[in-house]
């Protein structure tokens, strides 16, 4: 990797690693208390250089403005079992004092034309570098497992068709997005049954492990 990119991306890499630990730590705290965790799992990545350049070109972002204008060079994803968990997670993020929220985008009540649903929170995160503090933008995407399944599939198809989906695939993807949303709604309706079963299961696991 070119030295210039290595220096530029260093604070983003640092931020993703730190935030993965912090957000996974939230899940661990719920587990420790033996209560339902609104966070199922957390992933994080630094956007590959080729994707940064692609997006900069598409959105007319000058390369010397990446830091100010590209919000998802560092990205975290928090997956939830239920739609209501998303609200809980956003509340938890709003309460934290290790970063500030600069923007929230609700693509759940206002889904994208593609069918995409997720809640995006853009934060300003201070990274301690050897030359001092650097404040960078990080995008946290919060979504259910079903929304994540859809987005992952659509993203790989997007790659294949470079965004120009044939009409029938576009339509099927929109229908699949609705099906995923229906799945979320159905799961929400039996949420308490599911949680009860999960609690019994984890108690049994604990007993087995202590034997
Ligand atoms: P990647 O590969 O996920 O890193 P825009 O890019 O114009 O849609 P903007 O202003 O960057 O919008 O912000 P937005 O839409 O809040 O966040 C963009 C990111 O959200 C995307 O990143 C995706 O991760 C996700 N996203 C948004 N729309 C869709 C969609 O229709 N399908 C899927 N699968 N994901 C979506 P990138 O840059 O695409 O890249």
CB 61 within 8 A of CB 124: no
The atom of ligand 1 lying closest to the CA of 55 is: 38
Q: What is residue 79's three-state secondary structure? A: strand
Q: What is residue 175's three-state secondary structure? A: helix
114 close to ligand 1 (CB < 6 Angstrom)? yes
pLDDT at residue 1 in the model: 67
Long-range interactions of 31-34: CB distance < 8 A, separation 24+: 34/199, 34/202
Alpha carbon of 76 to ligand 1 centroid (Å): 13
pLDDT at residue 84 in the model: 96
Give start and end residues of each alpha helix (H) in the chain: 3-32, 49-58, 66-69, 83-95, 145-161, 167-189, 191-210
CB 84 within 8 A of CB 8: no
120 close to ligand 1 (CB < 6 Angstrom)? yes
Give the CATH number of the domain where residue 136 resides: 3.30.460.10
ipTM of the complex in this document: 0.91
Alpha carbon of 147 to ligand 1 centroid (Å): 13
Q: Whose CA is nearest to atom 35 of ligand 1?
A: 151
Q: Going residue by residue through the chain, which has 211 residues, state the pLDDT in tens, using 9 for 90 and above.
A: 688 999 999 999 999 999 999 999 999 999 999 899 999 999 999 999 999 999 999 999 999 999 999 999 999 999 999 999 999 999 999 999 999 999 999 999 999 999 999 999 999 999 999 999 999 999 999 999 999 999 999 999 988 888 888 999 999 999 999 999 999 999 999 998 888 888 787 777 778 887 7
154 close to ligand 1 (CB < 6 Angstrom)? yes
Sign of CA dihedral 95, 98, 99, 100: positive
47 close to ligand 1 (CB < 6 Angstrom)? yes
Q: Whose CA is nearest to atom 7 of ligand 1?
A: 59
203 close to ligand 1 (CB < 6 Angstrom)? no
Pocket test residue of 138, 155, 169 for ligand 1, highest count of atoms within 8 A of CB: 155
CA-wise closest residue to 83 among 131, 22, 144, 127: 144
Report how many domains make up the chain. Answer: 1
152 close to ligand 1 (CB < 6 Angstrom)? no
Secondary structure element (H or E) that encloses residue 138, with its range:
strand 132-144
Alpha carbon of 126 to ligand 1 centroid (Å): 23
Interhelix angle 167-189/145-161, nearest 10 degrees: 170
Q: Which of 139, 193, 206, 209 is catalytic?
A: 139
User: Is 139 assigned a catalytic role?
Assistant: yes
Task: Find the domain containing 130 and state its range.
Answer: 3-210
Encode burial over 179-188: b for 16+ CB neighbours within 10 A, e otherwise: ebbebbeebb
């Amino acid at each position: 990797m070119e030295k210039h990119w290595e220096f530029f991306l260093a604070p983003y890499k640092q931020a993703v690693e730190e935030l993965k630990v912090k957000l996974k730590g939230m899940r661990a705290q719920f587990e420790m208390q033996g209560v339902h965790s609104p966070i199922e799992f957390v992933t994080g990545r630094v956007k590959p250089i080729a994707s940064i350049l692609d997006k900069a070109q598409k959105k007319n972002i000058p390369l010397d403005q990446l830091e100010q204008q590209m919000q998802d060079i560092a990205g975290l994803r928090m997956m939830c079992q239920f739609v209501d968990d998303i609200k809980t997670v956003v509340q938890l993020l709003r309460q934290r004092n290790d970063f500030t929220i600069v923007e929230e985008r609700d693509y759940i009540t206002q889904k994208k034309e593609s069918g995409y649903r997720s809640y995006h929170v853009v934060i300003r995160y201070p990274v301690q570098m050897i030359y001092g503090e650097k404040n960078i933008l990080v995008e946290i995407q919060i979504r259910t497992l079903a929304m994540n399944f859809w987005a992952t599939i659509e993203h790989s198809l997007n790659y294949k068709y470079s965004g120009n989906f044939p009409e029938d695939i576009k339509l099927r993807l929109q229908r699949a997005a609705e099906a995923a949303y229906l799945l979320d709604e159905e799961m929400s309706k039996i949420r308490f049954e599911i949680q009860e079963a999960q609690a019994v299961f984890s108690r049994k696991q604990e007993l087995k492990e202590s034997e």
